[in-house]
Amino acid sequence: MSTPFPFTAVVGQDDLRLALLLNAVSPAVGGVLVRGEKGTAKSTAVRALSALMPEVPVIAGCRFSCDPGTPDPACPDGPHETGAGTARPARMVELPVGASEDRLVGALDIERALAEGVKAFEPGLLADAHRGILYVDEVNLLHDHLVDLLLDAAAMGASYVEREGVSVRHAARFLLVGTMNPEEGELRPQLLDRFGLTVEVAASREPDQRVEVVRRRLAYDDDPGGFAARWADEEAAVRARIVAARELLPSVRLGDGALRQIAATCAAFEVDGMRADIVMARTATALAAWAGRTDVLAEDVRQAALLALPHRRRRNPFDAPGLDEDKLDQTLEEFSGEGDEDPDPDGPGGGGGQPPSEGPQGEGGSGARPEAGDGGEPQPSGAGAGEQSAVRAAEPFRTKVLSVPGLGDGAAGRRSRARTEHGRTTGARRPRGTLTKLHLAATVQAAAPHQRARGRSGPGLVLRRDDLRQATREGREGNLVLFVVDASGSMAARQRMSAVKGAVLSLLLDAYQRRDKVGLVTFRGSAADVALPPTSSVDAAAARLESLPTGGRTPLAAGLLKAHEVLRVERLRDPARRALVVVVTDGRATGGTEPVALAGRAARLFAAEGVASVVVDCESGPVRLGLAGQLAGELGGTAVTLDELRADSIAGLVKDVQQSRRAA
């Protein structure tokens, strides 16, 4: 087994280390979601934590890590007798992004259960992680139904597997840690709320601290064992402190005064539901135990709020996470006199919440927390001739449903029809590999004609593997929604461009809700640009849209050709994900020789390949040329006005290009 990088040798990242340690002290806190840019020691810190966890006593031979002192009475490997067991290190189990549902929760062999009457269960990663750490890197890229299963198990402390009347239940209590890069897409607010704490991490901008990071990493790579040995004393001290804090935790008193501060804070920040209050209470209690105290202080409540509330205030994908610390201090001060008196006259000097002294580790670590919206919005590029500065988008609205015709096989989502693992049953087929969803009627129908040959003359049914049928299901998929936005001078009227940006922002919000990937191509002047390559981060697309300047000629053909190239590359990367092209323009084409003819030829490339498309017609005024409608016809799609985008439904307006061509 490779030697992990020592936890105490991680430079800076005080909030990250503290959040992990608090969950090690009290798993009831509910796990940690670590958000931040790549290369900020997220994975290193999580893997290093497992080496600090105390050893776990287990019953020998139990695949579900039952505690010999209190064995699980429902353990599939049980029943177990109470008694002495063996000790092993706490496990850190990693869930790959591409894991299947069976790999996560375990595989129940339906074939053996039906054909042989044997209840055979192969444990999954949830069973492996019981009483240890379950680490999900890039948790925002997991399929939604896997995230739901994961968080349900973490909340209930148990995993349930049910298939066709056969069920298995086993304990699954673990420290859940998820990491994500926000540039690759956000988690839904409902899922964000299920993580106890969240931490924003970023690379230090201090040269001395960056030098220390590189120095330690190079030393570790040259001699992992020797480097770990130099940090052994610090590691042992933190391990002992975790054990002591766990023992002290039941004795920590959460007084009425602290509870009032917690409730007032959650109310002041308008946090939905009561989960935030409960998580803050557990976190404040763990902070006190970590500091070696038996009373929760105001400083514990403040630190708990900074860790437990920022991600719960995010209402839509365009909101930046964060907390107004001045408002937090004002709320805590307002309710500081109610309930219990502060038992610690030294205030913050009591050591509440900071990780232990770690020698050179602490040097240079600022522990500064970035404020919400740090860095601001992207600034528009320098204005050139005929260019206007960016205008703000109008308020977004609920759009109609745009969908891709036909039946796809893409990633699960909420936009277009697709063959999926979850959804309504539409038919049956022979299993290809392991049987996961049994189609009972089709199975019985396949077996019935052979009963006499199999010696069955009375009631009952003799099943063989060849009789089993897999249910085929239809659900919804997520698509690639590629926006091609006209930013030329003909679109430059401020009120008009504000409405256009508001419409695109509305479609982006719809794409977020339907689990789509999005991309943004803009064209103006003499060229087109890929403002945002296809990504799951709709908030990144919104930021690019907001800063988009306008002006110049209308190179419509260049915009369409650039979009065609983006689709070609993305089709190689993800061939199963179907595309929907949304062209936002008034249909004018200027600049170069024969701009209208060139635009028509570029549009017909999409029609020839059967790419679903919609043109959002931005033409306004009493005299309209209808150019957007002509463009839609050449694309093989349909045109809608900005006003029509608000109608009840336009699901049927996206033409099935193949059907149209056959009819012609």
Residues with a known catalytic role: 275
Count Cβ neighbours within 10 Å for each residue of 102-112 and write b for 16 or more, e otherwise: ebbbbbbbbbe
Closest CA to 587 of 639, 652, 544: 639
SS3 490: helix
Side chain identity at residue 336, one-letter code: S
Closest CA to 281 of 254, 313, 246: 254
Joined tokens for residue 542: 């919104």
Closest CA to 73 of 212, 169, 166, 198: 169
Any idea what the Cα angle at residue 32 is, between residues 293 and 363, rounded to 5°? 65
- CA-CA distance, 13 to 369, in Å (whole number)? 10
Q: For strands 527-535 and 517-524, give the pairing.
A: antiparallel
CA distances to 129, 463, 484 from 117, in Å? 29, 11, 58
- CA-CA distance, 274 to 258, in Å (whole number)? 16
Please return the burial class of 69, using the count of CB atoms within 10 Å of its CB with bins 0-12, 13-18 and 19+.
Answer: exposed
Q: For strands 86-88 and 56-58, give the pairing.
A: antiparallel
Question: What's the order of all strands across the beta sheet hosting 579-585?
Answer: 527-535, 517-524, 480-486, 579-585, 612-617, 638-641
- CA-CA distance, 504 to 484, in Å (whole number)? 10
- CA-CA distance, 551 to 538, in Å (whole number)? 25
**Is 76:168 a contact under the CB 8 Å cutoff?**
yes
- CA-CA distance, 324 to 613, in Å (whole number)? 43
